[in-house]
Structure 1
Amino acid sequence: MAPAKKRNVSSKANAKKIKIDFEGIVERVLKSRKHANDVFDVLEFLQSEKEKDVICAVDACCKLFCTLLKRKDLFIGKLPGEDEAIKGEHSPDEKYKIFMRHRYNNCVEILLEHLHHETHEVKESALCCLMKFAAEQGLHPLEDLDWSEYFSFPRELIQAVVHNILSQSLDNSLLISRFQEFLEMDDIRYYVMSFIRDNVATVMNKSKGAVLPVYQSNVFTLMLNINMPSQETELTNFMVKQESKLELASLLRRRKIDSLFPLQDHKRAFERMWLGFLKYKLPNSMYKKILVVLHDSILPHMSKPTLMIDFLTAAYDVGGAISLLALNGLFVLIHQHNLDYPDFYKKLYNLLEPSVFHVKYRARFFHLANLFLSSSHLPVYLVAAFAKRLARLALTAPPTALLIVLPFIYNLIRRHPSCRVLIHKPSSEDELLEDPYVMEEVDPALCHALESSLWEIKVSFRTKLGPEKGATVANGRCNAGVALTEKKLK
């Protein structure tokens, strides 16, 4: 049934009186059923254009309908239409409960609309009221249930809240941060993860996979506010509690489970939620936000972290800093979750471009590259290819880049003594013309780095630092500076 029509209630002088009237209305309605129609006054103020009036009305509705839920004064089961209730063969008690159930539904509809209100205080007030309704509905369901078989949870109400929080036009990050406290409850968290997945599928399919920056930002913010438990024993905080331990034990025996929301089910829901979100194209700025928190906040809580490979591969193709962060995610999967990804070092090798010395994430790039290449079990040809490519890039890099390139190459050769052949090859007058290294080759296994030498280092020092300084570095008199830079890279 449609909500009551709006009423002009904008008098500033009566603000205090309005609050008192709300309390009086609620008291009268709860005291005697003959005042049931007074609930319309509250619902009208709930749609006021004045923020204070709306908040007062929200508080009144919250007290009124929470009390009616506790008293079981709202119709339970499939709700008849109001016209049907009047004409049908219902007792006065049933007619009252049907009437009040319709008013409750009106109230919920208006509160859900207020989650899109322009004022945060109204949105927050509406959210808190809806969650109080959800808690009472969990304890006093509005559906006929066989308590021996079912666990009551206000799915429809919570799903509607999630749907409205995930706005496609409003940035709801502030409201979502308020919603986080409810996500600390294990049953709410579990169902919200499923609702997010369903909502994303519906919205993104409707948009045919097009990027929706505001909506996807709201979804990401909500998912990031989900703090997952790490142990089964932590699953003790529920919004909807069973009335007795015997009742809960009976329910668990019938379902043949140890817990209503076992940790494995939480992880599965968490995984499906993230994978369902990440399979769609994202705004470029969001890739970075996700990749930064990936290995700490997402991968540890997934049942099968290796399923993230498709997202990480897509993120690598974005380019720039995103590619580097994607490789970091792949590196974690390879070393911590036994992912087989043979193209990893090939992708890293191809990120070594002249622009790498000019980007703002240069320090992070070389820090991570040093980490990726730290294993002493890497094949010699691979390490040689990275050393040679860096040396070649140094020819056109700014002078300050040498402070990064030299210690980086030094670390590579120190960890892989077999690569010393690159610096101990006898030189010749024609070595610059006969270098077998193929800079344009994208596969480090085919670039012939081991057949070459690191002659570029000598040339770089002489051309960028001048003959005197270049000779000084070449003779090893700057070991302290090299060691310091090397330490920073570790």
Structure 2
Amino acid sequence: MPALVTDSSSKKRKSGKNASAPSSKRRAVAEDNFAEKLATIQELENQIAESRKHYNNIATLISMLNVEKSAESPELAVAVSLCRVFGRLLAGGNLTESSRAAENEKIVAAWLKERCIEYQNALLAIMRQADPSSQITALTLSMRLLKERIAHIPGAENNVWSTGFFRDIFTAVVEARGAQDLQSEFITKFVKEFEDVRYYTFAQIGDYASTKRSSEILETLITILQTCDVAPDAEHKFENFYAKRDTKNKRVVSANSHKKQAQEAWLAILRNNLSQSQRKNLLRMMVHNIEPWFNRPELLMDFLTDSYNVGGATSLLALSGLFYLIQEKNLDYPQFYTKLYSLLNADLLHSKHRSKFFRLLNTFLSSTHLPATLVASFIKRLGRLALNAPPSAIVVIVPFMYNFFKSHPTTSFMLHRSIRDKDELAEVEKEGMDDPYDPNESDPHMTDAIESSLWEIETLQSHFHPNVAAIARIISEQFTKQAYSLEDFLDHTYQGMVEAELGVEERNLKKLPVVEYQIPKRIFTDRLLEEDGGVDSGAGCFMRGLWEF
């Protein structure tokens, strides 16, 4: 007899449905448990406030924080309650040991200090290990506790800021895992908002970066310093403080002291284990973000000269900072123009930093006191490079040369050199002429460029791109324009030129452009059409030979 088969699948599906979707009863139970926990926490806190005999509740609350083994899932309600507890104890002076106090009073104060340190370490562990929301909460509670310690413990500000709790907070913020939100909160709500926090943050960065750090840590430190982009001047009034006691600290209310701390912080980073991308990033912000914080900008000389000697894009980025020191601080760099001349190569004209370099080069060579041989070398090197440069770079080079000829008229001999000796002219027409310019000479004073001519520009007048050919002809015309604005040419790109050509339909062309220079009458046949006048044997054979019919 076959066994009785029961339909158990429906029961399983029913029980699975009940397990996956919590009922309203379960939600009510969870809410009741949470409310009960909050009530327990509040009761323990109230008992601590009522009587000293309940101080052991502090140890109970710390154990309820759930951070002994791991701080990944802390009880934030307990953390907030403990912050209130220690805030009241600090305000009441219960953590301060008096020399006149009885021995049992000193024992209680010492025990409370130990519990306070235990609570601080728990907050630091939460900042390092917990989720972003818990990290931010722990940071807020830590800074509030720090504020209470400074406000109610006489003489505590130096220890708390420099070697105590704030140092531990800063280290936790920098080293915490997945701490982008935490670091952003620290920068926005504290470093940028309060001037005393910013001052001591500079000090902590200087100490912390004095030893070798990883690239990730250095990136965080650079981000913190980079956000402080406005240096205080001598007349700046310091008014916004996180801890009110700091208003009496002469160093915190001194613009010179703030700049000194920031200077030491930047120097510690510049001397550290920087990656190539970080070095380039620092060079980009050197003039506007870093140098304003330096009381002694000459301390940047080693970093800038080392970067300038690296070559390539790094040297290009170091130019502006180095020229600032030369111009404003009388830095002596005798080989500056020789090094600048060496940076002019084919790679530069394809670099994304090309426009920035030309802006700086225009500044460097603007002085009318520069020798003509030096300026002529730069003009000639640009002309030679233009022969193989992209069209977007050539349209910058030609107006650049035009401006040089206007500001340095002694170099205008390079535009046209006529040979008056008939015998020499006949020999030149027969065998050609050697260019006296030496492109391999590294010293721009010794290239003999002033003895050469700009035949390269005349070559560019036959360039395949019509815009390049047209702009190259300005050198052959009368110099009636005072100067060209380089900003009108620096941002030309391939994309812009292509878009301009693709917009042919928007222009009124008298004649459509053709692909061939000479339009053939036929392509695939040897025989002309009858209306073209008969037979021309051999015509079209080359093109027809490329095809199989």
TM-score w.r.t. the length of structure 1 is 0.80
In structure 2, how many angstroms separate the alpha carbons of the residues matched to 1:35 and 1:130?
Answer: 24
Aligned: 1:62 with 2:64 = no
Partner of 2:386: 394
Cα-to-partner distance string for 1:276-327 (whole Å, 9 max, x where unaligned): 2101231122123222222122212211112111111232344433321210
Contact 2:71–2:130 (Cα < 8 Å) also in 1? no
Residue 328 of structure 1 contacts residue 368 of structure 1 at CA under 8 Å; is this kept in 2?
A: yes
Give the conservation status (yes or no) of the 8 Å contact 2:320–2:360.
yes
Q: What are the equivalent positions in structure 2 for 1:56-455 lying under 5 Å apart?
A: 56-76=77-97, 91-141=103-153, 154-155=161-162, 156-167=164-175, 170=177, 172-180=179-187, 181-183=189-191, 184-202=193-211, 204=212, 212-226=214-228, 227-242=230-245, 248=248, 261-426=253-418, 429=428, 433-455=433-455
Quote the Cα distance in structure 1 between the aligned partners of 2:335 and 2:260.
Answer: 28
Q: Please give the root-mean-square deviation of Cα atoms over the aligned residues, in Å.
A: 3.4
Contact 1:152 1:240 in 2 (8 A): no
One-letter identity of the residue aligned with 1:193:
F
Q: Alpha-carbon deviations, 1:36-90, whole Å to 9, x = none?
A: 2222332233235797753222211221111111111114489xxxxxxxxxx96
- Number of paired residues? 444
Distance in 2 between residues matched to 1:152 and 1:140, nearest whole Å: 14
Whole-angstrom CA distance in 2 between matches of 1:275 and 1:43: 41
Superposition deviation, residue 488 in structure 1: 4.3
Structure 2: state its 5+ residue gaps: 1-28, 420-424, 492-549
Greater Cα offset, 408-417 or 424-433: 424-433
Instruction: Give 1:197's aligned amino acid.
Output: G
What are the ranges of 5 or more consecutive residues in structure 1 without an aligned counterpart?
1-10, 79-88, 253-257
CA distance in 2, matches of 1:200, 1:33: 44
- CA distance in 2 between counterparts of 1:388 and 1:354 reads 14
Paired amino acid for 1:451: E
Distance 1:487 1:401 in 2: 13
CA distance in 2 between counterparts of 1:472 and 1:236 reads 62
Q: Which residue of 2 aligns with 1:459?
A: 459
State the Cα deviation string for residues 433-477 of structure 1 (Å, max 9, x = none): 5222221222212222212221111123335459x9579666549
Relative to structure 1, is the Cα distance of residues 73 and 186 closer, same or farther in structure 2, using a 3 angstrom cutoff? Answer: same
Among the aligned pairs, what percent are the same residue?
31
Distance 1:23 1:141 in 2: 26
- 1:489: how far off? 5.0
For structure 1, which segment, 387-396 or 290-299, has the greater mean C-alpha deviation from structure 2 after superposition? Answer: 290-299
List per-residue Cα deviations over 1:349-406 (Å, max 9, x = no partner).
2111111222223223223322332233322222111111000111222344321211
Q: Deviations over 1:227-258 (max 9, x none)?
A: 54223442233333349x9xx5xxx8xxxxx6
Contact 1:284 1:318 in 2 (8 A): no
Point out the more displaced range, 380-389 or 22-31.
22-31
User: Does structure 2 conserve the Cα–Cα contact (< 8 Å) formed by 1:135 and 1:240?
Assistant: yes
Q: In structure 2, what is the Cα distance between the partners aligned to 1:50 and 1:163?
A: 17
Q: Secondary structure at the match of 1:435?
A: coil
Residue identity opposite 2:169 in structure 1: V
Question: Which structure is larger by alpha-carbon Rg, 1 or 2?
Answer: 2
2:38 matched residue in structure 1:
19
Q: Contact between 1:171 and 1:214, CA under 8 Å: does it hold in 2? A: no
1:484: how far off? Answer: 6.5
**Aligned partners of 2:129 and 2:177 also within 8 Å:** no
CA–CA separation in structure 2 for the residues paired with 1:68 and 1:327: 57
Q: State how far apart, in whole Å, the 2-side matches of 1:301 and 1:270 are.
A: 6
* Residue in 2 that maps onto 1:255: none
**Matched letter for residue 177 of structure 1:** S
User: By how many angstroms is 1:105 displaced?
Assistant: 0.4
Tell me the distance in 1 between the aligned counterparts of 2:487 and 2:245: 60
* Aligned-pair CA distance for 1:341: 2.2
Deviates more, 1:262-271 or 1:414-423: 262-271
Greater relative contact order structure (CA < 8 Å, 6+ sep): 1
Work out the CA distance in 2 between the residues paired with 1:286 and 1:229.
26
Distance 1:414 1:173, change over 3 A: farther
C-alpha contact (below 8 Å) 2:71/2:129 kept by paired residues: no
CA contact (8 A) 1:138 1:152 kept: no
